[in-house]
A and B are shown apart, each in its own frame.
Chain A
Amino acid sequence: MSTHVEEIHAHGPSIPTFAKIWIALLALTAIEVFLAYEQVPTLIMLTALIGLSVVKAALIIGYFMHLKFERLSLFLTLFPMLIFCILLMLIFLGDATRLPNMRPGL
């Protein structure tokens, strides 16, 4: 039993690490709320908020969901295709910025 417990401790993060991740996530959220009240163009705001959210997502996936401590093959099976699909969707985002200028009467 004792060897079993040691094994778990050996390949997982400790409680202080989890607490630090939690504090980092709260701090990033606070920065996002602060950014929301800055007067910047929509696309720049969008990029900044999504950038911070990707960092938060990486922290949650890596530490809370334990993926950082799994085999690399698990990550390679799951994530490259997810990221690829999301990037494919983003191809259309350029159209969204052009649409307002294409309205009749403008």
Chain B
Amino acid sequence: MSTQVTAAARTSLWEGGRSPYATNSKKFGMWLFIISDALTFSALLFAYTYSRVSNPDWPTPFHFNPSIIFSSVMTFALLTSSLTMVMAVHAMNNGNRTAAGRWILATMAAGATFVGLHMTEWMNLINHEHVTAASNPWGVPLFGATFFGITGLHMTHVVIGIIYLGIICQAVMRGKFKAEDVEVAGLYWHFVDLVWMFVFPLVYLMSAKI
């Protein structure tokens, strides 16, 4: 027995039969998805930054009240939802399904707050500032295209995340799914938070009306 163990320790992790990352395949799959999605957002944000820097007359329509206050509160909601998601994973690891379910519900509520505030902010821009995806009063159509493109794709991710968490939540409450499933959902949710950490300063703060 002891010789077998030593032999196994000597062979490389990469020779098969063992998990080289010491993680389950669902988690690794989610990491691969996150990296590819990160590249999508990087490309979009880079295209936006390029347009932003090369246009000295880029509009700065975001007033402190309501836009910057709204987006700051949205950032707070997402950061807090990440904390509650971590608590859900923690509770699930300790085998406390009821607490895990409640923490996931709290995460979904914070996510829904984010979407609600974001839609209000969109409607404010569309109705009061007359910005659409194709035109705006300042004659820089790229502003609307990049703004609605980036924040729209991000909001789609948040909505999908809320649905994903809802499915995980009802299963956890009914005693189905394992701790690793909650953890994988958590990875996705933290990623949505992570993307917003770049969207918020690049799209909102860079175009704040001073």
Taking Cβ atoms with an 8 Å cutoff, the residues of A that contact B are 1, 5, 8, 12, 15, 18-19, 22, 25-26, 29, 32-33, 35-37, 39, 42-43, 45-46, 49-50, 52-53, 56-57, 60-61, 64-66, 70-71, 73-74, 77-79, 81-82, 85-86, 89-90, 92-93, 95-97, 99-100
Contact = CB atoms under 8 A, between A and B. Distances in A.
Interface of B: 13, 20-23, 28, 31-32, 35, 38-39, 42-43, 46, 49-56, 68, 72, 75-76, 79-80, 82-83, 85-87, 90, 93-95, 183, 186-187, 190-191, 193-194, 197-198, 200-202, 205-206, 208, 210
A76 B5 CA distance: 27
Given A36-B68, A65-B191, 16 more contacts: A1-B95, A8-B93, A12-B90, A22-B79, A29-B72, A29-B75, A36-B205, A36-B206, A50-B198, A57-B194, A64-B82, A64-B193, A66-B183, A74-B23, A90-B46, A96-B49
A26 B20 CA distance: 36
Given A18-B86, A33-B72, A100-B54, A61 B194 contact: yes
B20 A73 contact: yes
Contacts of B20: 71, 73
Q: Is the interface of A mostly helix, strand, loop or mixed?
A: helix
B205 A49 contact: yes
B31 A74 contact: yes
Contacts, number: 137
B50 A92 contact: yes
B86 A82 contact: no
B16 to A, nearest CB: 15
Contacts of A95: 50, 54
